Structure 1
Amino acid sequence: MNILEELRWRGAINQQTDEEGLEELVSENKISLYCGVDPTGDSMHIGHLLPFMMMKRFELMGHHPYIVIGGGTGSIGDPSGRKTERQLQTMEQVQHNVDSLSSQAKKIFDSENISMVNNYDWLSKISLLDFLRDYGKLFNINTMLAKDVVASRLEAGISFTEFTYQILQSVDYYRLYKDHNIQLQVGGGDQWGNITAGIDMIHKIEGQDAKVYGLTIPLLLKADGTKFGKTAGGAVWLDPEKTSPYEFYQFWLNQDDRDVIKYMKLFTFMTQDEITSFEGKLKKAPEKREAQRKLAAEVTKFVHGIDGLESAEKITEVLFSGEIQKLTVKEARQAFSGVPSNEISSNPQNIVDLLINAKVDTSKRQAREDITNGAIRINGEKITDLNAVINPNNSFNGEFVIIRRGKKKYFLGKIK
């Protein structure tokens, strides 16, 4: 099975510029290919994960992927997927984001067989006159206006800056083809117009015999029709400081039965036999959620490493058992980062007063009732004595007190 057959089975291909030509190329050769990411922020999110998974799959089959960090294109702004102009970032902010994304990519793709380059290195060296004479002359305005990404912006308006983005991305492909013999560009479906523009430009310069191709990944929708990758809290980031390994793990663990096998094909490196086995387990006993646990484990390990996975699994198990005293301070921060929190005094205090101060209960009557009914746990310990005195400094380095009311409702008392 060649790489394209593998990708088809996984449902990872949306469009190709020349299916037969690319099939012949990868069947007979080990090729170089690329995928780009613009530094619009200082972290990638799971929307970036699928094309980079594709890069890794190519690498595992002996091909040579390049990750292009768009220090040049990122300073301009890609109009794709937007209804209005992007706010231009300062070059200092662009560089900060470039450094952050480069570090993140190196951590995820720790391999000598995957190269990283920054398109600022060649785009910044092109003068205005050279840009217009060498590249601008190759682009027909009517063709550019017909590209979906531009056409969708014409009513609201688009600046010349963003209008020229497809030329810059085309220059990227041309330079990578000339300097590194890169013959395939991979991107999201919204990049189709930019990818084909680059191929057209290369053919105009090098001739129609130049073997360059484009491939896009499908737009992912969940079974309920909503866009994949968004949560109530916003994007799911790859940076552990923005989305902790535990939160990342939980995102995958909570996937719908109807989606989990599809995501297993797209976001893991499991074999067909392994995935088929989990598909059978899902049909036989969906309540066990074995496929979801395997999916969460595989993707978390790929992004956050074995340490991140082990931490996420530990937190998950501890929260299920209620033995939160087993958590380290760092793990507790991850586990309870999203629960209601309020400041409390560091002084020892009566349990009833603590529940009021932490806004667990709104009245002392309700607090006393919760305590006597056995509904309150402080740092994992059930408290039923109305006269109990809680010293906030005794657990989690005196940073916070974790309060549970009932089976699942948690609160965080942050110590002043």
Structure 2
Amino acid sequence: MAYTTGMTLASRSLIPICSKTFLSPLRVASLLSFPEKSSTTFFRRHQIHHLFSTSTTPLFSPVKCSTLETEVQAVSRPNVVDILQERGLLESVTSENLRSACSDPNVAPLKVYCGFDPTAESLHLGNLLGIIVLSWFQRCGHQAVGLIGGATGRVGDPSGKSLERPELDALTLEKNIAGIKNILVKILGGNASSYVIFNNYDWWKDMTMLDFLKKVGRFARVGVMMAKESVKKRLESEQGMSYTEFSYQLLQGYDFVHLLDKEGVNVQIGGSDQWGNITAGTDLIRKILQTEEAAYGLTFPLLLKNDGTKFGKSEDGAIWLSPSMLSPYKFYQYFFSVPDVDVIRFLKTLTFLSLDEIKIVEDEMRRPGYVPNSAQMKLAEEVTRFVHGEEGLKEAVKATEALRPGAETKLDWNLIERIAEDIPTCSLPIDRVSGVSIVDVSVSAGLFESKSAARRTLKQGGVYMNNERVDNENKRVEEEDIVEGKGLVLSSGKKNKVVIRIS
């Protein structure tokens, strides 16, 4: 949608107690034991953040409770806006009052939404920052809201696009919506009361054109709409802009109106390219609901590499968050390959490690004897765990270790089958493999373009069969080299690999 920790003691107030209690007595005691002065330091904020991260239960639950009440001292929530700013995850806010609102113990926890249009069956790395920012709000005691654009996805957001998106049929849209919902539930899940997911098709499907003009159109000013950066760029291009795309900002803007009015959702977040759409929403809220401070917008920077290019694309295309479209192994490998110049910044923006922990990693990188890619390994572990869970991380680490040239891990065919989805694969008859020289087999499999190239690499010690270095250029593939009689893995160096299936 495109529609993509300091704690202080405050005045006494009433906190409701119910079956889903906000805080266990142990956690209350530990939180209240911090002296008031400690709230001014980011170090303390992150100590308390770690307390959150050990449990999927949010500190302040948004669930509705019974009328039973007890008098305790209120504790302010960690200031999530400050945390985002310190980690490089804050671009702009529509009002600085959001800073106080997000941590004021006398203000109810915020409901914060990010939109995701169902343009594909899976979200991708470009959407991940939105989920991470939602999760930061969630971890600081607020409610995360995912909005799937079942209606806006039929229109297409022109922000950052040079061409109009192709129209998707209803069946594809439904499939995409289901896929995106599954990803959001998996990543934001744990405590169902800390997040909720909506589909904007639910309130757009019954709105007629006349309703739209009456409810929304009469409050919009064409001059303001034309001044939006996404609109100006498209109007200046040869392709121009359709009325459908031009109206997108009003659709997204009204989503905010509806969510605030009907669901109490009072914060919208998005990438920096969403500023125009987000402010369209706050403008409509001010005019339609006649309120100034009830709603806030927050944007975060786009995910860029050090050279200014977009981060999130590989040679094979988008970095998908769904394991059915990109395996946890390949997802892990993408982050493991991040350049040193980018890794610390990505540890701040893409993980929930404290800044103190990240500083330790940064210092280690400067010391003599630093093991190359240790920081990248930490980044890959943290992001893969967040997106794919512990099981996905275990699968990725196991495959990475098994495919490392010289690894002691014995390859089995089940593991080779899993990684075959992520590396080049070919099929050869048994008589072109068994008893044939490793040089000939590697050329037949496409690992090398010529026998001379294969021999040259072999002499340099760069050819591996099933992770074992081949030292003899006269080596022939033997029957026991074929894993379970089904195939083998050949490698040239650390990265170039091919799975050979016996046909």
Alignment TM-score, normalising by the size of structure 2: 0.76
Which is richer in helix? 1
**Match of residue 289, structure 1, among 359, 368, 373:** 373
User: Per-residue deviation at 1:243?
Assistant: 2.1
Q: Secondary structure at the match of 2:162?
A: coil
Aligned twin of 2:498: 411
Q: Unaligned 5+ residue runs, structure 1? A: none
Aligned twin of 1:354: 441
Aligned twin of 1:27: 103
Residues 77/330 of structure 1: CA separation in 2 closer, same or farther (3 Å cut): farther
Aligned twin of 1:196: 279
Q: Is 1:17 aligned to 2:91, yes or no? A: no
Aligned twin of 1:55: 134
Q: Distance in 2 between matches of 1:387 and 1:8?
A: 58
Q: Distance in 2 between matches of 1:336 and 1:182?
A: 45
Aligned twin of 2:167: 88
Aligned twin of 2:344: 261
Q: Is 1:126 aligned to 2:202, yes or no? A: no
User: Per-residue deviation at 1:340?
Assistant: 4.3
Is the Cα contact below 8 Å between 1:76 and 1:88 reproduced in 2? Answer: yes
Q: Which amino acid aligns with 1:9?
A: E
User: Per-residue deviation at 1:202?
Assistant: 0.8
Q: Distance in 2 between matches of 1:372 and 1:266?
A: 43
Is the Cα contact below 8 Å between 1:311 and 1:331 reproduced in 2? Answer: no
User: Per-residue deviation at 1:207?
Assistant: 1.3
Q: Secondary structure at the match of 1:215?
A: strand
Q: Unaligned 5+ residue runs, structure 2? A: 1-5, 7-78
User: Per-residue deviation at 1:410?
Assistant: 2.7
User: Per-residue deviation at 1:322?
Assistant: 2.6
User: Per-residue deviation at 1:187?
Assistant: 0.4
Q: Distance in 1 between matches of 2:387 and 2:90?
A: 22
- Give deviations 1:179-216, integer Å, cap 9, x for gaps: 11111100011111111011111110121435111010
Is the Cα contact below 8 Å between 1:247 and 1:334 reproduced in 2? Answer: no
Is the Cα contact below 8 Å between 1:324 and 1:379 reproduced in 2? Answer: no
**Match of residue 188, structure 2, among 109, 114, 117:** 109
Deviates more, 1:333-342 or 1:307-316: 333-342
Q: Is 1:395 aligned to 2:483, yes or no? A: yes
Alignment TM-score, normalising by the size of structure 1: 0.90
Number of aligned positions between the proteins: 414
Is the Cα contact below 8 Å between 1:14 and 1:216 reproduced in 2? Answer: yes
User: Structure 1 vs Structure 2: percent identity of aligned residues?
Assistant: 38
Q: Distance in 2 between matches of 1:376 and 1:61?
A: 51
Query: What aligned pairs does 1:45-194 form with structure 2 within 5 A after superposition?
Result: 45-111=124-190, 112=192, 113-155=194-236, 156-194=239-277
- Give deviations 1:103-132, integer Å, cap 9, x for gaps: 111111113111111111111121111011
Aligned twin of 2:395: 311
- Give deviations 1:70-111, integer Å, cap 9, x for gaps: 111101111111111111111111111001111111111113
Alpha carbon RMSD of aligned pairs, Å? 2.7
Residues 10/377 of structure 1: CA separation in 2 closer, same or farther (3 Å cut): closer
Q: Distance in 2 between matches of 1:389 and 1:69?
A: 53
Is the Cα contact below 8 Å between 1:37 and 1:70 reproduced in 2? Answer: yes
Q: Distance in 2 between matches of 1:82 and 1:9?
A: 30
Q: Distance in 2 between matches of 1:117 and 1:236?
A: 25
Deviates more, 1:333-342 or 1:85-94: 333-342
